[in-house]
Amino acid sequence: MVTTIYLIRHGETEGSEAKRYKGSIDVPLSENGQRQIEQVAEYLNKSYRTYKTNNDKLKAVYCSPLSRALKSAEIIAEPHGLKPIVIENLRERSFGIWEGMTFTEIKEKYPQEFEAWANNPLKYSPMGGESTIEVRERAISALNKIMDNHNCNRIQDAGYRMQDKKNHESCIMNLASSSSIAVVAHGGVNRIMLCHIMGIPLENIFRIEQDFAAVNIIEFWEKYPVVKLLNGAAIG
């Protein structure tokens, strides 16, 4: 069985042009953000309308509790007759006292804290906030929960073995049992899950871009995942 996960970032938010760290602040989608997600919904629904196969119709849509992700998930779920399933651990990283500030403002107001973060970006947490490693723990927990819900094997390691090739060939012969789901989360959380999925060190999180309404496509085979699209833009 092959499970396809569409990992999506929410659409553009109100005030996003200021490039402030929103984190756990509940900021709604902008009008443009809603249009972006409507394009994503059309993109995901297009193959189902074209081929009319159960493999192309979403079986479930999961999302963060923050309204920008929840609203995005509702738009994506509606054509498939689904209601989003909220998972608390998919919420964006909390930046504590840094939330609502720009990069420059943080550097000027909290120079010592900024230097501490620059020296240890994975383990440092702003006052009242979370570290990247802390977010990884809950993000991977959320991913594992989703995989368990759909009888999909959890990621064990990044190694590719000959046995994996046999499993891959076996799955190709059993595509009738495939299913597709969507996960709508945030830039930081998506980057963390993608590092885990691709088996690369968390230090590479800053080398992965996640634009507003980005679509990532991952096929989960029996023993390993295959990334088919990274930071894609939907065209309805």
Contact residues for 7 (Cβ-Cβ < 8 A; gap 6+) = 183, 185, 190, 193, 194, 215, 216, 217, 218
Whether 186 is a known active-site residue: answer: no
CA distance 120 to 10: 28
Q: Which two tokens stand for residue 50?
A: 């074209």
Contact residues for 80 (Cβ-Cβ < 8 A; gap 6+) = 45, 48, 57, 58, 61
Whether 92 is a known active-site residue: answer: yes
Which residue in the list 92, 99, 113, 130 is annotated as catalytic? 92
CA distance 76 to 54: 17
How far from the centroid of its chain's Cα atoms is residue 163's Cα? 29
- In contact, 93 and 189? CB cutoff 8 Å: yes
- In contact, 6 and 231? CB cutoff 8 Å: no
Length of the chain: 236
CA distance 216 to 231: 6
- In contact, 220 and 153? CB cutoff 8 Å: yes
- Give the residue numbers marked as catalytic: 10, 92
